Amino acid sequence: MLDDRDMDAVFQALAHESRRRMLDLVKECPGIGVGALAGEFDVSRIAVMKHLGVLEHAGLLVSEKDGRTRRLYFNAVPIQMIHERWTTEYSAYWSGNLTRIKYLAEARARAEMLEEKKGSK
């Protein structure tokens, strides 16, 4: 179980938009190199490295050396542990269903907006 300091580190890491985007990119491309990841941002490589340090400290990123490249992998365990702290099996089931309904409603709304735009042309 995560202690309060560990949870604080996770929440701090997730609080910054750039770090959340970094996690998204690493999740989409497991094993992405630091250089490739840094190329996706309009900040210095040093700034990217600082963000990666915060993510690693929180346990959200795992890195491994591969020759001269440092490969990055997403670790969802700290987020899952936080989730489990405040949910029960029953509430997780219903929140999952509500999330699915939300995504379906958003997709339908986007489809309807596209149809309206096509009809107005």
Averaged over successive runs of 10 residues, the pLDDT of the chain (121 residues) comes to 86 96 97 96 95 97 93 95 80 81 93 85 64
Closest CA to 56 of 90, 86, 26, 35: 26
Q: What is the pLDDT of residue 21?
A: 97
Write down the pLDDT at residue 91. 75
Q: What is the pLDDT of residue 24?
A: 97
pLDDT at 20: 97
**What type of residue is 80?**
Q
Confidence (pTM): 0.72
pLDDT at 1: 67
Query: Residue 4's pLDDT is what?
Result: 84
Type of residue at 89: E
Residue of 70, 95, 81, 74 whose CA lies nearest to 30:
74
Q: Are 10 and 85 in contact (CB under 8 A)?
A: no
Nearest Cα to Cα of residue 7 among 49, 57, 47: 57
pLDDT score recorded for residue 64: 94
